[in-house]
Chains A and B, each alone.
Chain A
Amino acid sequence: MGEPLKVFITYSHEDTDSKDKLRQCLAVMEQQGLITIWHDNEILPGDKWYKKISKNLNDSDILLYIVSASSLASKNCNKELADALSGEIRIIPIILEDCDWQNHQLSDVQALPDQGKPINEWQPESKGWQNVVVGLQKVVEIMRPNVSDDVKETLPEWVFQQGNFLMMLGQSDKAIEAYSHAIELNPNNTIAYYNRGIAYGDKGAHDHAISNYSKAIDLQPDYTDAYYNRGNTYSDKGVYNRAITDYNKAIELNPDNAMAYCNRGIAYNCKGAYNRAIADYNKAIELNPELAESYNNRGIAYGSKGAYDRAIADFSKLIDLNPEFALAYHNRGNTYHNKGAYDRAIADFSKSIDLNPEFALAYHNRGMCWLHLQNWQEARSDLTVAKSIGEDIIAAFRNDYKNVEAFERRHGLQLPADIAAMLTQRRRSRFPKIQKDLIQQSSPLNLSSQKKEILSANVTLPKSPDVVNLLEELRDTGIPLEQYVAMPSHFGIKTGMDDAFVVDGELRDKLIADHSSSADILKPFLHGRDIKRWQVDAQDLWLIFAYHGIEIDAYPAILKHIKKYRDSLSKRTGKQKWYELQAVPGDSEYFTQPKLVCPNRYNHQTFAVDTDGLYCGNTCYLISTEETWLCGILNSSVVEWFYSQVSDQLTADELRALSGYIQQVPIPNVTSTQKALIGKIVNYLIYLQKQPTTNSKDLAHARDYMMLKYFERIIDGLVYECYLPETLHQGDKYFFKPLLDEHLPQPDEISGNKMSVFRGIFEHLYERTHSVRKNLFFLDSVKPVRIIEGKW
């Protein structure tokens, strides 16, 4: 027998009794000379005590950490403990009671009692303590120096368990170090990858988390939890389609996982697919009737669809499960508001404010109810409080009602001037923005790391079910752009310094004259600002295409030119050499192929077709495709509306091209004949856009400008028919048929004076009696069109 192992105990003051109990249990082992209690240390908040005793700590062989809500709550102390830990100590958490750490769903955590079953759940508790003692005896056994190698715990396992312990303490940075160490020691440690994924997820490092889960899945393709957690991470990132794929896999592997259904429901919900979301919540509730988040989420989904009574039932159930849950009252109140039951709504909002006096949104929403009841004094007071706690009441009001006049008209009220002023902003935006808040509403995934739940605001008032349903209908009509187009879409080349890399035609000629090799890397260049609707108006600009790894010495004239900028170029961030471009997404072929481009900022959808192989700057967004008709889809008012509803506006009048949102745009499923017709009209527009008379705002050329705009309207009509064929046909609105009957020529089939042929086509299609003109004229009698035009 060697020396007794030195045991170090850490516990929270509140758990002193348990610590004493533990010592009592260990007394026998101490008497046997197996261990000696080296140090028994109460956690003292605010004191840098671990520093002081770090020597003691690191001289110990075993650390027993008594896990309870109060010990885990001492974040600072735990951080110090984590910092003080060396890698050589065997850590054994002793679980006293059920608390947060289990939400992490860490795998293979070794804790005592067995399986981490908390002591207070053992009947009687003494059995739990007994289990702890037996467990410790085993550990001590294998830690003895003379134990044979096959039973001996290995270093990688120790390091891995230390990672788990650090996670338990909420020290994800340290945990990642430990897991990484474990992986270094054993590259096939699947669980270490998985747990490291969770640690990254805790930090919000989604991409790292995803790659760790993916690695774990590579090593073990049926790793259910890895799919599930990767799904959660995708969902956090807003990549719902991938999230859903992962949840599908997780459910396939384990059909009884209520949370996987619930979270898939959330992903569907965020995509606006409420029916599917509801089906998933139903399944989750079936599997686990106590799952509070399912009721809340289902309530939100029902509310979004306008099924208020069902929503109310769900929130009421939630209140039954937890009568102190402020958000549940708020959400029910919100639903009552949308139903017009303002008294009940006010009662619920008041209750939620009682439970959480800082609940800004609840004040705001109660204020809105008072407005409806024309109790100006209460309304004024609630709105003022909401504003003072930080609710943007002007934005919320604008999103819900557009403006005060619209609100008054809609509800037949007349607001007092001061309240109207509180709710008014001077800027105008083209579309009433309602959905944007719905997205915020459904993405409040207040994740406790890996257990995912919508447990936050069922935000603003009132969600218009019409808008929500229409968005869902549009999504259901097609497949997302990212799936439709094979090549990934992205922004253009970042030079890091346009002055050095972009040259005009004159300088280009000079560079080539100086050395003929220059021509090889001088490429036609496109700025975002030169993209018009339908076609690009490329200026005579050229990009020095100094890709990564270029042999710059082969281009002496170029080198001489950019040397002038060497100092500034060297200061750019990134790993490129000073003469290289800062970032070139994709490979260069990507630019030479036919593509659609749009500027990174715009007022209206501004996609153009580029077949000239222009090299785009990073003020451009590129979609690699030969399908010209997609330009028609992307520039249509339907898509403009869709995009403005789902994306963030830069300012009231400006949109931003954001990959994540553009990729979501559903591309409708249409026949090749239909694609060809849209493509043809797009070609008309490309041609017309280039003509001087169509761009002149001179009254003398008004008719040509109208022609251009009229063909755009025709595209709108066609695209409406692609997305909503049944609705349009019910209203007797047809565009494809009459236009196909015209057998319009392609622009390049027209010989002679093309403009005069186009004018003829326009005048014909614009005749008062032509069904295309008539259908466009009366198009807004169709409900979805009215919604999109903000007239519903």
Chain B
Amino acid sequence: MRITKIKIKNFRAFYGRPYQLNLHRAGKNLLIYGENGSGKSSLYLALECFLESSEDDSYQFENYQNIFIADAGYIKLHLRADRRSNEQTYEWSQSVKETNDPLFIEASKANGFLDYKALLETHYVHRESGIVNVFDLLVKNLLANTVSALTGRSLADDWEDIQPPFPRRNATNQIAILEEQIENFNLELADRLTELRTKASEILEKFGYDVKVEFDFQGITYNRDNKMLDGEQILLKVKFFDRDIPLHHRFLNEAKLSAIAIAIYFSSILVQPESDLKILALDDVLIGLDMSNRLPVIDILEEYFSDYQIFFLTYDRTWYEIVRQRTEESKWKYAEFYFKKTPENEIPIYEEDRPYLAKAKEYFDNNDYKACAIYIRTAFEEAIKNFCDKKRLPVRYSEDPKKLTSEDFWTAIKNEAFLQNSLINEIELYRKFILNPLSHATIVNIIKKEISGAIDAVENLEQELKKL
């Protein structure tokens, strides 16, 4: 089950006119660039609230409606089981609530929503003592919806059950019941942590960290004397070659802590059964990571979450471009949010991203040749790669298709003699210093005329390849 269209009106930042996000019949993933406050987070919130409202009555549409607009708002999701099946529409608004369909109740348990605020909790380290208590993060957030095998209820409900008011001191029966509930909670959580530990360590490996995550949970106990719960802590421990690393050690910098948090989060989804509608929404969760630590995330998503519909939101332009280049257009939709000032107010604009060459021309017109060159090269690579795919041209064998270079594709096309020599020569000319992966370093010295020549050459190439 995939989302094919999202329609939003008068929800948080989306006000005034109705907004529509098309995700194609296939229900593509969505990569969005947007500055802070551009509406990006409102989209994240719209999806999250839509799902949460299925289970939790405290989510009322009117609480999110823009109060200055009298016009009633809505969120509508269009879904398809696959490309061929019929599209179904579900609405959540003040007057209509179709979110209590089992589809969404189940999806909301999958807990596929993560934003940077949740991640900040792992950063909450007491540097001196080196203690990280992730109890709240796990019990109230990441594992909250997980269903206990012991009670058949969610961990959050089981936690709720052992909250005050506590029984009177002489109510032995009720105290016994409470203590049994606490034991069940402890056992379930301990078991969940074991699963989580294994999975999180596996994912951390993908980040290139050969560390193991451990959770130190001693169990909740009921303190009869003071009528309170003791032991509300899960201490995060990290082992490196079976040696404990103190958390104040510089080995665990900000980046590694972020990676650990993301690994725990991904694992929390992966240890649970999957719902029919699988959504993973990531709002700026990678900001704590430097670029080299972000790239593995793309591989992790592909390896573990290939059947999820991913909503990837970021305010980092460079990161956005990198992800865009590393993902396939057949599976992804790219878009951006920005604010447009009107005489009365500011409204968010949602715009689907244009082809690379069109963007190259735009930067050219703005005299940003460096950015322009990047897009020309990207357009070139995309064109030849897609052509090889389309014609199933034999390309040099490589175990990992991502390691293939533009040289490999270009050689294949040249060898098959599809193109006129003049066009080949023209491309070859620009390849040396513009359409070359190393062009970043040298591009500063390139003159305007050559850039425009490269644009023309790639445009010619695209047209020729399209005809074939």
Interface residues of A (CB under 8 A from B): 409-410, 412, 426-428, 603, 637, 653-654, 697, 699, 702-703, 705-706, 709-710, 713, 716, 731, 766, 768-769, 773-774, 776-782, 789, 791
Contacts and interface: CB of A to CB of B under 8 A. Distances in A.
Contacts of B67: none
A426 B165 contact: yes
A485 B52 CA distance: 46
A781 B149 contact: no
17 contacts: A412-B60, A699-B219, A702-B187, A705-B187, A706-B150, A709-B149, A709-B151, A713-B152, A768-B270, A768-B274, A769-B274, A774-B274, A778-B105, A780-B105, A780-B152, A781-B106, A791-B55
A653 B149 contact: no
Contacts of A777: 109, 147, 272-273
Contacts of A710: 149
Contact of A781 (B105, B150, B188): B105
Given A409-B57, A778-B106, A769 B273 contact: yes
A706 B189 CA distance: 11
B190 interface: yes
A373 to B, nearest CB: 19
A706 B152 contact: no
A653 B219 CA distance: 25
A706 B187 contact: yes
A776 B147 CA distance: 9
Contacts of A426: 165
A703 B102 CA distance: 30
Contacts of B219: 699
Given A654-B173, A766-B149, A777-B109, A703 B273 contact: no
Contacts of A703: 191
Contacts of A427: 174
Contacts of A773: 273
A750 B149 CA distance: 25
A637 B152 contact: yes
A533 to B, nearest CB: 13
Given A637-B152, A709-B149, A653 B106 contact: no
A653 B274 CA distance: 35
Interface string B212-248: 0000000100000000000000000000000000000
Interface string B35-70: 000000000000000000001011010000000000
A729 to B, nearest CB: 12
Interface residues of B, number: 34
A566 to B, nearest CB: 36
Contacts of B188: 706
B369 to A, nearest CB: 51
Given A654-B173, A703-B191, A768-B272, 20 more contacts: A412-B60, A428-B161, A653-B173, A653-B177, A697-B183, A699-B186, A702-B190, A705-B187, A706-B188, A709-B149, A709-B151, A709-B184, A713-B149, A731-B102, A768-B271, A768-B273, A774-B274, A778-B106, A780-B152, A782-B102
Nearest to A705: B187
B64 to A, nearest CB: 14
B275 interface: yes
B153 interface: yes
Contacts of B275: 778
A537 to B, nearest CB: 17
Given A706-B191, A777-B273, A603 B177 contact: yes
Interface in B261-279: 270-275
Interface string B176-202: 010000011011101100000000000
B60 A697 contact: no
A412 B62 CA distance: 11
Given A410-B57, A774-B273, A781-B105, A653 B190 contact: no
A599 B328 CA distance: 64
A789 B105 CA distance: 14
Interface string B52-93: 000101101000000000000000000000000000000000
Contacts of B191: 702-703, 706
B173 A776 contact: no
A781 B102 contact: yes
Q: Which 7 A-B pairs have the closest CB atoms?
A: A781-B102, A774-B273, A781-B105, A709-B150, A777-B273, A702-B187, A778-B106
B109 A697 contact: no
Contacts of A791: 55
Contact of A789 (B60, B153, B271, B274): B153
A235 to B, nearest CB: 36
A778 B54 CA distance: 13
Interface of A is mostly: helix
- Name, among B103, B109, B149, B274, the residue most crowded by chain A CB atoms within 10 Å (CB to CB): B149
Nearest to B55: A791
A637 B150 CA distance: 13
Given A710-B149, A713-B149, A778 B273 contact: yes
A653 B174 CA distance: 8
B152 A776 contact: yes
Nearest to B60: A412
B185 to A, nearest CB: 11
Contacts of B57: 409-410
A44 B171 CA distance: 58
Contacts of A789: 152-153
Nearest to A412: B60
Contacts of B173: 653-654
Contacts of B274: 768-769, 774
B412 to A, nearest CB: 40
Interface in B139-167: 147, 149-153, 161, 165
B388 to A, nearest CB: 36
A202 B83 CA distance: 73
A696 to B, nearest CB: 10
A776 B109 CA distance: 13
A568 B254 CA distance: 79
A653 B173 CA distance: 9
Nearest to A710: B149
B142 to A, nearest CB: 16
A782 to B, nearest CB: 7
B272 A699 contact: no
Nearest to A771: B273
A778 B187 contact: no
B360 to A, nearest CB: 45
A291 B149 CA distance: 55
Contacts of A769: 273-274
Contacts of A428: 161
B225 to A, nearest CB: 19
A653 B180 CA distance: 13
B140 to A, nearest CB: 17
Contacts of B103: 781
Contacts of A779: 152
A670 B186 CA distance: 37
Most chain A C-beta atoms within 10 Å of own C-beta, residue among B102, B153, B161:
B102
Contacts of B58: 409
Nearest to B165: A426
B272 A697 contact: no
A773 B165 CA distance: 33
A777 B58 CA distance: 23
B179 to A, nearest CB: 10
A546 B240 CA distance: 72
A702 B149 CA distance: 11
Contacts of A412: 60
A778 B150 contact: no
A426 B227 CA distance: 15
Contacts of A697: 183, 187
A273 B286 CA distance: 58
A706 B105 CA distance: 25
A769 B273 CA distance: 6
Contacts of A409: 57-58
B200 to A, nearest CB: 15
B88 to A, nearest CB: 15
Contacts of B106: 778, 781
Nearest to B177: A653
